Every structure is written in structure tokens, then in C-alpha cells.
Structure 1
Amino acid sequence: MVNTFGTIQFKEMPSIASTGVVVGPMEKDSPFAASFDEILPLENEKDETYEQANTRFIEKACAVTIQKGHEQMENIDVFIGGDLINQLSPTNFAARQLAIPFLGVFSACASSMESIILGSLLLESGNAKSILAGASSHHPTVERQFRYPLEYGGQKPGTAQWTVTAAGFALLQKHAKNAPIITHATIGRVIDGGQKNPLHMGAAMAPAARDTIERHLKNTNSRMADYDLIMTGDLGKIGLSILKEMFQDEDSGVILQDAGAQFYGEDSFFNAGASGAGCSAAVFFSHIYKQLKNGVFNRVLLVATGALLSPLTFQQGETIPCIAHAIECRMEKRG
């Protein structure tokens, strides 16, 4: 393992043996819907709180991941996950049910890639053989905590994004057959561009995405053109436009894409697009994963972005610090 200013080169190159993505009813019309494993008809069932529903989504996505990986839960060494709710309570309660060693993480909407990086480091160290890692978000829970309860019916500006109801997880193992591998990871730095508007997250997170991508390209001696795709997670349509302007690279227009900008297509109901820890997890662990396995993509850089604010810091007039974590994946057939 080689570390160069936050970029890790994995000698063992952990495999993403399988993935599982479970989403809610509003996500059924997503352009990525055909790649999701399960679309649930309700965001919460009768007599179930939204937080309990969030936990159920996590448990279902983990079960799908394990089943597709032909593994047993008791063989998983560590479960790593996060969400957006106070004290990670949905993920904590899912870990209670899974009953395996647990690491809870929080990088807001960048939590999925933080989970994958930590899992890859554990595999690289030789202290684990199978890791379950990922993240989730749940629209009603996030609205109630960070904005207004759904019943309030508050209107949002065009810069706002819609929190995805989704849970996405991956099974990381050493040397899985015919599975994408993780060659590098770049750990994000906390970047604050001075933004204060919590309904314009794309502008707040774009500088963090640029910083991580620039460092990753420099540290791996790569150019944008060397990748089939560089996909950020939930900058949304406006944030992606800002990021492309920052780079002014002739290849950025095609190679740079964003999960949040594409998640709900061109439906204006969702304003600037999608967000949430489950947004990048759902897209990366479904559509992108399948494109790698099918040989459509050979080399991709996945960059999840997160805004590290809380309702309290916003009320106190603080600016919004942000972070972006990245993993580089390739497809390698192993016998």
C-alpha cells in the first residue's frame, strides 16, 4: 500500500464481489431504475416510523448484497455504513440486527466512498476477508431533520435537490472472480468555499470535488482522458456545471458526470436533481458496477461529495464545509 498525499494505491486491489441497491417509490422512474435490485412501493409501512423504514432499507440492501455474493452473513468480518440522521441511528439499528462487528461513518453524502475506502484498508491489512460497506438516505427523515417535515409543504428554489430514498452496499473481498477491483483511493480534504445556502448544495460541494479529483489525477499521473468516466455523487445539475467550469478541460464535458444530475432525469419536479448518501451509493453500486462487469467501462473514478453541516451550524450562521472521497475502479477477470 502506497500513500501519496492522501491517495492510496492498493497492492492487493480489493474486489467488489457483489452489490445490493434498494430504493423507494419515487425512484422507480429514474433512468437507473432497471439496474436497481428492488424498488419498494412505500417509503414506510403501516405503524412504522420513517427512521425505522430507513433501517429496513439498509437491512434489505445488505441481504441482497450477501445473497448475490453467495456468502453468509456470519462470514462477514466487518459491517461499515453511514446515513444522514443524528447519531447514525438507522445504520446503528441495522447493525444491531446484523450482529457483526460494526464501524459507523459520517461524511454526509460522501459516506458511501468513505465506507469503501475503510473496508479496502482493512482487507489490505490482512485483518479481514469479507467487508460489507455502503450508505443510505431516506427522503422523509432527511427533510424532517435538515429542512421541514413533509406535512409543512414548504416550497424550494430551483437550486435545491431532492434527497433520494435508497440504500446501496457492496461486498468487498480479496481476489473475487470476474469482479471490478479497487486500484486507488483518494481521501478528501475538508474544503469550505464560503457558501451558506443549504438549498444550494451543488455550489458548496463543487470545490471539494475539484480538490479531490485534481489530487487524484496528479498523484496517479493521470489525465481525464485516461478514464471512461469520472462520476461525482450528487452535485446536481448546477453543481456539475460549476465543476466543469472549474476544470476547463476539453475532456471534462463528456467524462465528468454526476449521479445527482442524472438520477431523476429531466423531471423539473426534482429541481436541480438528486442528493443524499444513498444517491451516489445507488448509482455507483448498480448502473456503474454493471457497466464495469459488462466491459462497457474499463476504468472509472467514483467521487462521492458531502456537505458537513448540521441544522444547528446553519442557524448559527456558519458556512458549509464539504468533503469528497474517491475510489478508482477497473475491471479485471480473475480465474
Structure 2
Amino acid sequence: MDLKRMGNQTVVFANPPVILSSHSVVGPKEGQGPLGKTFSRVWKDQLNGEKSWEVAESKMLQEAMQGAISQAGVPKDHIDFMLAGDLLNQMISSNFAARQMALPLIGIYGACSTMALGMALGSMLIDGGFAQYVLVGVSSHHDTAERQFRSPTEQGTQRAMSAQWTVTGAGSVLLGRSGKGPRITSATLGRVIDFAEKDVNNMGSAMAPAVADTILNHFHDLQRKPEDYDLMASGDLGAVGLALAGEVLKQSGIDMGTGFTDCGVMIFDASQDVHAGASGCGCSSVVFAGEIMRRIKVGELKRVLLVGSGALHSPTSALQGESIPGIGHAVVIEA
């Protein structure tokens, strides 16, 4: 059997899965940002008629996944697996959404890297012959994340300038063995990297070394360079982490140039008072499902490197004084 693994951490798909459809649902603040018109649906408020933020997030994820199914025109009973993840304890948004979707569930957790991780694992399932169709969905909600990870929302604690704003959003893609659409041609799965950052208000710095490590291994494994990509987007380092990752890569001999950006920088603008930018599972998922997929479809982008970045801490580990491990997972999407 010929292994499809190449180099240190990369897999190259012999039969690259097709992204048949994408769907994104966001909250009002995200809809007011520079990418507002690229999202499939913008909610008018954070609850959308539900009794709690947590219920709202689960419904948002369900809506995004159902939207991807409807757009592709694939009968739901033809879908082999649903891969989903979120930020909440025991992934309640994903599990409760799966309860309604009635599909075989593979729950995944990679913090903000979950969308890239889901696309990588879904591609492996299809390329490996284990599935014909795989549904990938990811969500986060600003208010559920604030309640779980930080101070009570009602307390109104002043945020540090290095802090990022958790996106209220859910993005989904439907992957298929064949059909029309861009293909996922390879994936580089990251290692957990920890540079002893303990400030939960500076997650960009905690994640940047892991993203840089994954990018370095990706270029090494495939013998590529930044010029081989029309767009390279991390998600979600924010402005602080993006600058740090670029500096780490430059010290390693790689100048990422102007084609390197971050989903957490793209989704909001300076007037929205988000400090270092955006974060959350939902950020890279809705930016990819919306703006990046739009640009691929109209021919602006031929080859994209999406590098999901995750801060692998919990409220418990933070309160116990542990540092914040980071991880980065990358997927290559080609028109």
C-alpha cells in the first residue's frame, strides 16, 4: 500500500474531495463588518428568538449545515458523516445540533482551528473510500464564549488591547467524492506548540508559533513557497498573532509577503472596537464559507492555503496557571 503522506506532516489526496457547497450564518456585529454581504444569512440579534445564547448557537450551527445541504441539492440520507465542533464544554452546540440533524456524528475539537481540522479529516474520509459525502460544520457565539471563558458578560470588564472578539457565527461545507467545485488537494496537520504564554487576553501570541510551525512544515513537505498561493489565511490569530507569525517565519527564512492575512483581521474593521481582531471557531468558518469561497468561484483565487489556529486551553487550565498550548492545521483548496 502506497502511503499518501508526504514529508513530516502533510497528506496529499489521490482523489481530492470537492467542496460542493458552503453556507454561513452570523450575528449582527459580523453582518455590519466589511464582509457582511458575503454571508448567507445575518441574524438581527444574538438570541434570534431563543431562550439562551447556548441554544441560539446550536440552532445557528444547525441552520448553517442545513443550508449547505440544501444548496448542494444532496439528499440528507446520502450524507455518510457529520463532522462538527465548537468552543463550549463537551461541545454542546455540536452535539445538540446533531441531535436534530440525525446524521452519524464525529465530534472534533481544535478550538479556532476546528474548521480546517474538519475539512482535513472529512477529506481523508472521502479520499480513503469511507464516505461519499461528508458534512462539516463549526460554530462559536460571542456571549456563550464570554460566559464560559472569561468574566460574566454583565460585569462589563475592560478588555485588553491584545484581546480578540469571539465571532457569533456558524459555517458549513459539504464535501463530496465528485461534482463541481473547488477541491481540497492536501492537508498539513499541526503539532501542539507551547511557548509558555499564559495571558488569555493574548491568544494570538499563544497560537502564532504553532501556525508558523505548520506553515514551515507545509512548505517543506510539498517543496512550495508563498508565491505558489494566491491567498494564505490563518484563522484566527488577529492582528497581534498575524504580525508575530510573520516575524517568526521571516526569521526562519520565509517572507510571507502581502498574500498572508488572517480571518480575524478580515471580518471586522477598526470602527467596530474589536481591538486585536476576531477569534472563535465561527470566524474562519464563516470567512471561508463566505468571502474566500466567493473569490474562488469568481476566479480571483486559484490556490488557497487556509491555516486554522487553535488555543488549546480551558477555564480550568487557565485558573490553575497553566500556559496556553497552540496548534495549527492547514488545508489547500484549489479551483
**RMSD after superposition:** 1.2
Question: Do the aligned residues in 2 keep the contact of 1:225 with 1:251 (CA within 8 Å)?
Answer: no
- Which among 110, 113, 127 is matched to residue 124 of structure 1? 127
Question: Do the aligned residues in 2 keep the contact of 1:36 with 1:282 (CA within 8 Å)?
Answer: yes
Question: Do the aligned residues in 1 keep the contact of 2:226 with 2:257 (CA within 8 Å)?
Answer: no
- Equivalent in the alignment of 1:48: 51
1:157 is aligned with what amino acid? Answer: A
Q: Which structure 1 residue ranges, 5 or more long, are not aligned?
A: none
- Listed one character per residue, the Cα deviations across residues 91-134 of structure 1 (whole Å, up to 9, x for unaligned) are 10000000010000001111111111111111011121111003
Aligned residue runs from structure 1 range 94-133, under 5 A: 94-133=97-136
- Distance across 1 between alignment mates of 2:214 and 2:37: 30
- Equivalent in the alignment of 2:258: 254
Aligned residue runs from structure 1 range 131-150, under 5 A: 131-150=134-153
Question: Do the aligned residues in 2 keep the contact of 1:146 with 1:310 (CA within 8 Å)?
Answer: yes
Question: Do the aligned residues in 2 keep the contact of 1:235 with 1:275 (CA within 8 Å)?
Answer: yes
- Listed one character per residue, the Cα deviations across residues 71-107 of structure 1 (whole Å, up to 9, x for unaligned) are 1222211100100000001110000000010000001
User: The residue matched to 2:136 in structure 1 has which SS?
Assistant: strand
Question: Do the aligned residues in 1 keep the contact of 2:28 with 2:45 (CA within 8 Å)?
Answer: yes
Aligned residue runs from structure 1 range 283-322, under 5 A: 283-322=287-326
Question: Do the aligned residues in 2 keep the contact of 1:76 with 1:130 (CA within 8 Å)?
Answer: yes
- Distance across 2 between alignment mates of 1:175 and 1:8: 19
Question: Do the aligned residues in 1 keep the contact of 2:305 with 2:330 (CA within 8 Å)?
Answer: yes
Larger deviation: 215-224 or 1-10?
A: 1-10
- Distance across 2 between alignment mates of 1:120 and 1:3: 13
Q: State the aligned residue count.
A: 330
- Listed one character per residue, the Cα deviations across residues 125-162 of structure 1 (whole Å, up to 9, x for unaligned) are 11211110031101100000000221111111100000
- Distance across 2 between alignment mates of 1:295 and 1:310: 40
- Equivalent in the alignment of 1:78: 81
Larger deviation: 203-212 or 72-81?
A: 72-81
User: The residue matched to 1:320 in structure 2 has which SS?
Assistant: coil
Q: How far did residue 250 of structure 1 move?
A: 7.2
- Distance across 1 between alignment mates of 2:297 and 2:221: 26
- Equivalent in the alignment of 2:91: 88
Q: TM-score, normalised by structure 2?
A: 0.96
Q: Which structure 2 residue ranges, 5 or more long, are not aligned?
A: none
1:324 is aligned with what amino acid? Answer: G
Question: Do the aligned residues in 1 keep the contact of 2:50 with 2:56 (CA within 8 Å)?
Answer: no
- Which among 11, 16, 34 is matched to residue 19 of structure 2? 16
Q: How far did residue 172 of structure 1 move?
A: 0.2
- Which among 165, 175, 183 is matched to residue 162 of structure 1? 165
Q: How far did residue 46 of structure 1 move?
A: 4.1
User: The residue matched to 2:163 in structure 1 has which SS?
Assistant: coil
- Which among 178, 193, 196 is matched to residue 194 of structure 1? 196
Q: TM-score, normalised by structure 1?
A: 0.96
Q: How far did residue 47 of structure 1 move?
A: 5.3
Question: Do the aligned residues in 2 keep the contact of 1:22 with 1:60 (CA within 8 Å)?
Answer: yes
- Distance across 2 between alignment mates of 1:251 and 1:46: 47
Q: How far did residue 45 of structure 1 move?
A: 3.6
Question: Do the aligned residues in 2 keep the contact of 1:10 with 1:124 (CA within 8 Å)?
Answer: yes
- Distance across 1 between alignment mates of 2:88 and 2:239: 25
User: The residue matched to 2:257 in structure 1 has which SS?
Assistant: helix
Does residue 1:275 correspond to 2:262, yes or no?
no
- Distance across 1 between alignment mates of 2:257 and 2:269: 18
Q: How far did residue 286 of structure 1 move?
A: 1.0
Question: Do the aligned residues in 2 keep the contact of 1:164 with 1:275 (CA within 8 Å)?
Answer: yes
- Equivalent in the alignment of 1:3: 5
- Distance across 2 between alignment mates of 1:157 and 1:48: 30
- Listed one character per residue, the Cα deviations across residues 243-270 of structure 1 (whole Å, up to 9, x for unaligned) are 1111226752301100101211222610
User: The residue matched to 2:173 in structure 1 has which SS?
Assistant: strand
- Distance across 1 between alignment mates of 2:284 and 2:329: 11
